[in-house]
Amino acid sequence: MKWELRGKTAIITGASTGIGKALALALAARGVHLGLGARGQAELESVAAECRALGVRALAVPVDVADPAQCKHFVDTCVSELGACDLLVNNAGIGMWARFADVTDLSIYDRMMRVNYLGAVHVTHAALPSLIQGRGLIVAISSLTGKTGVPTRSGYAASKHAMQGFFDSIRVELKDSGVDVSVISPGFVATDIRKKGFAANGQPLGDSPRDESEGATMSLETCTEIIMKAITRREREVVMTAKAKVGMWLKLVAPGAVDRIALRAVRERDGER
């Protein structure tokens, strides 16, 4: 049975650009009232305005999810203004593109855990009472990198593996509460995540010569459609590509083959040799 979304309330982190923004607009179009968070206030305000134009309430609340106090303030503000949180989408995230041996600024490992993993932990903890009250849904936007190790993504993979373990665990704890937990693992999606991700020196990678619409990259529209379907079905897990689904099985019987596939994918994708 499909979950009726109209009139529900959702909180989304990382809603100013990319997947978070696309989900905010898709949920607004389905009549969901929104609490939107990210650091960039102007971009967030503009997304909230686009959502309001679709006829829903939409709040833009600046938050750095790496700061636990800000996570609590963000969720409390959204819940008190909107009256509830039926759906929480933990989407805020940052990436990295560097081999471990080349990394000169190890603080990127700390930052990645604080944003991708601990940010989701703190936001979820603050939203839990309201989610339980409304028998709601928690969505974690993880990654295929949360399923298997990927070269040049070691810190990112660690944070997404942590996310997967955390949300798999609380899914079991919440079984009798009526709250469902959905872990979504996209592959390459056409967003600006690569430009903002860390290089070996801890600085953002910046513009890449790569065309994001190329090859194995999924369009933002397709990714959003898949996530929206998972939300309405309250699916426990989505592994986004057919190749990755096969890879999950292969990892059980031939893990070395999956390592080679991951290496080849990163070489093709990032032009590494």
Ligand X SMILES: NC(=O)c1ccc[n+]([C@@H]2O[C@H](COP(=O)([O-])OP(=O)(O)OC[C@H]3O[C@@H](n4cnc5c(N)ncnc54)[C@H](OP(=O)(O)O)[C@@H]3O)[C@@H](O)[C@H]2O)c1
Tell the smallest beta-carbon distance from residue 1 to ligand X (Å). 28
Q: Among residues 27, 63, 121, 231, which is the contact residue for ligand X, using CB under 6 A?
A: 63
Nearer to ligand X by Cβ, of 136 and 186: the residue is 186
Check binding of 11 to ligand X (CB under 6 A).
Answer: no
Asked if residue 193 binds ligand X (CB under 6 A), the reply is yes
Concerning whether 156 is annotated as a catalytic residue, the answer is yes
Q: Does residue 14 belong to the site contacting ligand X (CB under 6 A)?
A: yes
> Nearest distance from residue 93's CB to ligand X, in Å?
2
Give, as ranges, the residues between 127 and 166 that touch ligand X (CB under 6 A).
141, 143
* Window 91-120: contact mask with ligand X (x via CB under 6 A): xxxx--------------------x-----
| The binder of ligand X chosen from 9, 164, 191, 224 (CB under 6 A) | 191
Q: Should residue 232 be labelled a site residue for ligand X when binding is judged by CB under 6 A?
A: no
| Residue span 17-36 as binding mask against ligand X, x where in contact by CB under 6 A, dash where not | xxxx----------------
How many residues contact ligand X, by CB under 6 A?
29
Q: Report the nearest approach of ligand X to the CB of residue 125 (Å).
A: 16
Burial class, 258, CB count within 10 angstroms (exposed 0-12 / middle 13-18 / buried 19+)? buried
Using CB under 6 A as the criterion, which residues of the chain lie in contact with ligand X when the complex forms?
Answer: 13-20, 38-40, 63-66, 91-94, 115, 141, 143, 186, 188-189, 191-193, 196
Residues assigned a catalytic role: 156
